[in-house]
């Protein structure tokens, strides 16, 4: 299994990247990359799981750990336009982990509500 992680990053960044503050829930929905070059690279992307802090995406294109991406997604009737950082890459599974960054308080609350709705 080929997996690139934040281990090559500085130790402080690794410590932060390995702490999950939010519970992840299985959730499948389409995700669009906002930046044209990322949209063209990804071809088609969809989620495997979601938390208020990030998500796991299945995509056919590889990304570098630490790269920033802008995502658009619609989940449970809520539209999101979020920025994230690639936390890990699993080339063999065509999957990437995205940690959301610079999330507005109102969007954070909406994300928490959406994730909670998957528990019901």
- Domain range for 67: 21-118
Two structure tokens written together for 118: 């998957």
Residue 10 lies in a domain: no
Residue 1 lies in a domain: no
Q: What is the CATH number of the domain that holds 43?
A: 2.40.10.220
Q: In this structure, are residues 87 and 8 in contact, taking their beta carbons and an 8 Å threshold? A: no
Two structure tokens written together for 54: 């990030």
Residue 41 lies in a domain: yes
Q: How far apart are CA 8 and CA 6, in angstroms?
A: 5
Q: Which residue has the higher pLDDT, 78 or 42?
A: 78
Residue 111 lies in a domain: yes
Strand partners, 84: 69, 100
Number of separate domains in the chain: 1
Q: Which residue has the higher pLDDT, 89 or 38?
A: 89
Q: How far apart are CA 18 and CA 3, in angstroms?
A: 15
Residue 4 lies in a domain: no
Question: Each residue of 9-67: pLDDT tens digit?
Answer: 444 444 444 455 666 667 777 888 776 555 444 456 888 899 999 999 988 777 899 99
Residue 25 lies in a domain: yes
Lowest mean pLDDT among 9-13, 24-28, 73-77, 100-104: 9-13
Q: pTM for the full model?
A: 0.73
Other C-beta atoms lying within 10 Å of the C-beta of residue 86: 20
| pLDDT at residue 89 in the model | 93
- CA distances in angstroms from 94 to 45, 47, 48, 72, 79, listed in the order given: 10, 12, 11, 19, 25
Q: How far apart are CA 83 and CA 104, in angstroms?
A: 11
Q: How far apart are CA 70 and CA 56, in angstroms?
A: 14
Strand partners, 100: 84
């Amino acid at each position: 299994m080929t997996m690139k992680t934040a281990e090559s990053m500085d130790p402080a960044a690794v410590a932060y990247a390995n702490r999950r503050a939010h519970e992840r829930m299985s959730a499948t929905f389409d995700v669009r990359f906002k930046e044209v070059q990322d949209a063209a690279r990804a071809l088609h992307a969809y989620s495997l799981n979601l938390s208020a802090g990030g998500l796991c995406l299945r995509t056919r294109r590889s990304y570098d750990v630490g790269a920033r991406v802008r995502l658009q997604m619609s989940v449970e009737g809520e539209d999101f336009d979020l920025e994230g950082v690639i936390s890990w890459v699993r080339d063999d599974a065509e999957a990437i982990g995205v940690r959301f960054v610079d999330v507005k308080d109102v969007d954070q609350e909406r994300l928490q509500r959406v994730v909670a709705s998957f528990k019901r």
